[in-house]
Amino acid sequence: MAPSTKSILGGRTGARTLATENSIIRGAVFASGNGSNAENIIRFAQNNPGEISIPLVICDQPEAGVIDRAKKLGVPCFVVPGTRATRDEQEKKILDILAAHGVTWVFLAGYMRILSASFLAHFPQRVVNIHPSLLPEFPGKDSYRRAYDAGVKASGVTLHFVDEGVDTGPVIAQRKFERVPGESFEDFRARGLALEYEVYTVFLKELCHGGRDQDRNRIQNSGQASGKMG
């Protein structure tokens, strides 16, 4: 069954809100690694130019594959490295870049840093992350690996709004997949990744159709139940 984010987004599918009428979504993609999710998001935007634009990618790893992917897709990639000790400084640089490009949404796609509460306050309910497990199971790093090694019979992916915790924000949508007996880790992970692209794409479609001014209570009270699709 295809995932739906309709009720998460306040049931506004098909109706643009006043705040966003005549404007398109300007989203920055944040990534730290290979960048296949980033590419999926950029391609979606390039196929829906009147609805959404990805003016830039932010990357914190100078050697990351996403840098080359962004270049091939014609999207500027800003590399802004940082350590835990320099997070404020790094976030300030990033905020300046986002402001200069009129960014209103942030799409995390394999971005391996925790954003501060003060950063998130600039984009209330507008920072989204894809996580490779059925949260709250296997939060944090290497989730496919840990799920696979734990011998789970099924795993999945979660799209969620980001709060200052580690993979704790309100769930937008989840998709589950069954483990195939005897399958390799690579196959297990590949099936998860394919679902990540699908879930992000469904969310972006819903977003483009007008459900942008989310209400936190609606998300938390009614959204979670309908967002958790098998």
Within 8 A by CB and 6+ apart from 159, the residues are 5, 128, 129, 130, 131, 171, 172, 173, 174, 199, 200, 203
Instruction: Select the span of 4-12, 36-44, 74-82, 167-175 touching ligand GRF (CB under 6 A).
Output: 36-44
Q: Comparing C-alpha atoms, which of 145, 152, 173 is closest to residue 161?
A: 173
What residues between 172 and 201 interact with ligand GRF by CB under 6 A?
Answer: 193, 196
Shortest separation between residue 135's beta carbon and ligand GRF, angstroms: 11
Residue nearest to ligand GRF (CB): 110
Nearer to ligand GRF, 55 or 139 (CB): 139
Rounded distance between C-alpha atoms, residue 118 and residue 21, angstroms: 28
Q: Is 122 a catalytic residue?
A: no
In 3-state terms, what secondary structure has residue 129? Answer: strand
State the nearest-atom distance from the C-beta of 69 to ligand GRF, in Å.
9
Nearest to 109 by CA among 224, 227, 200: 200
Q: From the list 16, 20, 26, 33, which residue makes contact with ligand GRF (rule: CB under 6 A)? A: 33
Helices (H), 48-172: 65-72, 87-100, 117-120, 143-149
Q: How far is CA 151 from CA 58, 145, 190, in A?
A: 35, 10, 17
Residue 26: what residue type?
R
* Binding range to ligand GRF, per CB under 6 A, among 12-20, 26-34, 55-63, 212-220: 26-34
Q: Which of the residues 95 through 124 are near ligand GRF (CB under 6 A)?
A: 109-110
Terminal CA-to-CA distance of the chain, rounded, Å? 7
Interface size with ligand GRF, residues (CB under 6 A): 14
Which position among 28, 29, 31, 208 is part of the footprint of ligand GRF (CB under 6 A)?
A: 31
Does 34 contact ligand GRF by CB under 6 A?
yes
What are the residues binding ligand GRF (CB under 6 A)?
A: 31, 33-38, 109-110, 130-132, 193, 196
Question: Which residue numbers are catalytic?
Answer: 131
